[in-house]
Chain A
Amino acid sequence: MSANPHLGQRATISRQKKLSPIWIVPIIALLIGLWLIYDNISKAGTQITLTLSNAEGIEAGKTKIKLLSVDVGVVEQIKLSEDLSHLQVLARIQPEAQALLVTDTQFWVVKPRIGLGGISGLNTVLSGAFIQLQPGKSRQAQEQFEVLDQPPISPNGALGLHVNLVGKIANALHVGDPVSYQGLRVGRVVSTRFDPKQRSMHHELFIEKPYDVLITDNSRFWTTIGIDFKLDAEGFKASIPTVESLVAGGVSFGHLNDQPLGHPVQPDTLFELHPNEETARQQVYDQYLEYVLMVDDSVRGLSNGAPVEFKGIRIGTVMQVAWHYFSKARQAGDYAIPVLIRIEPGRINDTEQRNLSVWQARMTQMLKRGLHATLKSGNLVTGTLYVDLNLSGHANAVKTFARFEGRTVLPTHASGIAQLEQKLTNLLDKLNQLQIEPVLSGLDQNLQQSAQTLKQSQLTLQEIRNLTVSVQQLLNQPETQQLPAHLTATMQHIQQVLKGIAPDAPMYRSLTQTLQRLDQVLREAQPLVRTLNEQPNAVIFGRKPSDDPIPLAPAATTNEGTP
């Protein structure tokens, strides 16, 4: 009974596994490869396109993009734009900095710059130029940027205030010029733009944060450039700014005297730019009354801007000489020159500025009481004139006032020289009216009196003659005649006295003899002194006889002396 053993041994068919474990290796390799690709892509960062006009100093693969001196990217490629007008730089920004790429992000090339504000970017001389990134505030991402030519004056995020200036001083300001307040730099000129239609310059200023409160509706701006010379009725005036301002120029601003700062202004408020400080402050008096002077005399020396004074206080300004000269309101044969003046109450007191109606009434009252204008010489050297308002008592009060071109005409009196002329005429008139006859009769009386005086002087002469006779009698008296003899005797006495002390006088001789004796005594004492000197004990022991040498006779024959 044996069964086919082979029958029982049937091959069991088992399903082979679909995937061999060996496949794990390529799969892992694939995964690693994929991860590597992802990693590479994710770390490569974003590519951005920068547009700039000049790629000086920028090299592909080398020039860095920096934020606060930290590298955040690198330039990869530089190529020309399609229209060849500018350059396009492809740069790659690291993923960490990707969030910085928003619409208002700014780029500029940092390279050595020498300007009025100083020298910057010196370190790039060695390291090479780099592109600075200034992050923006926007949340909208962007990948196309324009590179600025200059570093931005007011970086994004800097706190401050932008204001606009408009003026006709074209070349006064440049980008980067300082904005100063009382000499302190508080901001910079951000941009300048010339408007051809309005023919005026538009400037944008940026005032830095702590100082932006200084910009109020009372602020006045003026340029601080150049040296200002002025010669007017008030004399010679020169205003010279500091050397720094001379070189760097700039714009200054200030406020009205004794005035509160005023109200803060909105950003981008428009201000007027004045050529100098004085003009800026002049414009303050925006409340004024206008009058017209009709001047018959010459207005030579009277210029626009000349002061109008009342008793020496400046209360206004001459606005225009020869204002509407050819007006139809003029009457025929009237060649007086109209001068427009402004009375500016604000000059006297700032609080007066608001009460214009009060001033109007006041002026009318003064006009009725004889207020009139005179052209006076303010400076004898230059001959400049100013308008002097005064109230003269004898001026005729005027009830009604003429009007010219809508302005009240202020009565005008002649100037100093014209007044002099008038006075001279008056004087001549008075001379004419002088009465000569009484003077002549008085003169006649004087002549009669002088005749009497002559008689008196004749009498005086007679008296002098008598006096002479008596003097002669005095001289003829014997006592007077003896006077010379006395004088002679006195002189003789004096002569005798003088003889007594003359060289041949006895007294003189005796004096000489005395002196000679004294000399003799001294000489005789000389041997004694000498002896004592040589032999001190000679007083007691007596002098020893000296051994005087014996003078010798010549040994040979005698010789004759020669002179």
Chain B
Amino acid sequence: MRFIKPSWCLPMLLSLSVTACVGNQPPLKIVRYQLPAIAATATQQDIQHWVVMPPITVARLLDSDHMVVAIDALQVRTTRDHLWAAPLPELLWQGLQTRLNARLPHTQISATAFAPAVPASQLTIQVDTFESQANGMAALSGEWQRSDANGSKRLPQRFQFQAPLAAQGYAAMVDALGHTLDQLAQAIATDLQTHTD
């Protein structure tokens, strides 16, 4: 009497070997981060200026949800287990918008024009680096350009900010990157106030 046919043996052996391999894999632990929030300020009132800020364009390496860590002056690594909560351009736009609105109570920052008839100046931002560096600093660099309500463009301005990490680890890195974003928001707000008033 034969209970097991030989033709069944091969698939059974294969499946056994596969499950054996799976059993050895350690569990994945993916952590997602978002940019540090800021303290709530007074709501917008008596809006006098409208600024349209289109989606931020980022370098190709940053156009994702992974983080960028520079190992030395030449090598960078992208993380796979420590990720941003959303694609980085969205996070940056939202973070910058909240920071600018907090600093400019009479200015409305929006993604699209409020209405075609309302004159709005435009703010274009391009981010080249948003990473932690080997010397322990978080770095933010890029370029921003303003154009007036009548469409005339101003010269683009380079920016480069750094903030030290308080400690080792990704949480401290995200915190430091949030500080660099604060510095950028402050610089843009100062410029907007200077030239629109």
Chain A residues in contact with chain B, CB under 8 A? 503, 523, 526-527, 530-531, 540-546, 548-555, 558-563
Contact = CB atoms under 8 A, between A and B. Distances in A.
B69 A548 contact: yes
A524 to B, nearest CB: 9
A541 B159 contact: no
Interface stretch (B20-28, B42-50, B148-156): B20-28
A503 B110 CA distance: 14
A550 B168 contact: yes
A563 B183 contact: yes
24 contacts: A503-B112, A526-B64, A531-B80, A541-B21, A541-B22, A542-B22, A543-B28, A545-B81, A546-B79, A546-B81, A548-B69, A548-B80, A549-B79, A550-B168, A550-B170, A551-B170, A552-B132, A552-B134, A553-B167, A553-B168, A558-B164, A561-B137, A561-B162, A561-B163
Nearest to B177: A551
Interface in B168-193: 168-170, 172-173, 179-180, 183, 187
Give the 8 A-B CB pairs with smallest separation, nearest first.
Answer: A554-B136, A558-B164, A561-B162, A546-B80, A551-B132, A551-B173, A561-B161, A548-B79
A interface, over-half SS? loop
B64 to A, nearest CB: 7
B162 to A, nearest CB: 4
B36 interface: no
B166 interface: yes
Given A503-B112, A523-B65, A552-B134, 14 more contacts: A523-B87, A540-B18, A545-B26, A545-B28, A545-B29, A548-B81, A550-B168, A550-B169, A552-B165, A553-B166, A553-B172, A560-B162, A562-B162, A563-B183
A563 B160 contact: yes
A548 B132 contact: no
A551 B77 contact: no
A553 B87 CA distance: 25
Contacts of B183: 561, 563
Contacts of A554: 135-137, 164-165
Contacts of A530: 80
Nearest to B25: A542
A133 B141 CA distance: 121
Nearest to B137: A554
Given A550-B168, A551-B169, A554-B165, A544 B136 contact: no
A486 B105 CA distance: 47
B168 A552 contact: yes
A556 to B, nearest CB: 8
Interface string B77-90: 10111110001000
B136 to A, nearest CB: 3
B34 to A, nearest CB: 16
A551 B112 CA distance: 36
Contacts of A548: 69, 77, 79-82
A529 to B, nearest CB: 11
Contacts of A561: 137, 160-163, 179-180, 183
B61 interface: no
A530 B132 CA distance: 22
Nearest to B173: A551
A503 B160 CA distance: 36
Contacts of A546: 79-81
Contacts of B187: 563
A531 B183 CA distance: 35
Nearest to A552: B136
A176 B180 CA distance: 118
B71 interface: yes
B169 A549 contact: no
Contacts of B163: 561
Contacts of A550: 168-170
Contacts of A526: 64
A413 to B, nearest CB: 91
Interface string B24-62: 011111000000000000000000000000000000000
Interface in B78-114: 79-83, 87, 112
Nearest to A526: B64
A549 B165 contact: no
A530 B180 CA distance: 29
B87 A562 contact: no
A456 to B, nearest CB: 62
A175 B160 CA distance: 112
Nearest to B24: A541
A542 B28 contact: yes
Contacts of B22: 540-542
Contacts of B160: 561-563
Contacts of B112: 503
A554 B139 CA distance: 13
Contacts of A503: 112
A535 to B, nearest CB: 10
Contacts of B135: 552, 554
B77 A553 contact: no
Contacts of B173: 551
A555 B71 CA distance: 15
Contacts of B168: 550-553
A369 to B, nearest CB: 100
Contacts of A549: 69, 71, 77, 79
Contacts of A559: 137, 162, 164
Contacts of B161: 561-563
A553 B165 contact: yes
A550 B134 CA distance: 10
A122 to B, nearest CB: 94
Nearest to B159: A563
Contacts of B69: 548-549, 551
Contacts of B172: 551, 553
Contacts of A551: 69, 132, 165, 168-170, 172-173
B119 to A, nearest CB: 17
A98 B111 CA distance: 136
Nearest to A558: B164
Contacts of B159: 563
By CB atoms of chain B within 10 A, which of A503, A549, A559 has the most? Answer: A549
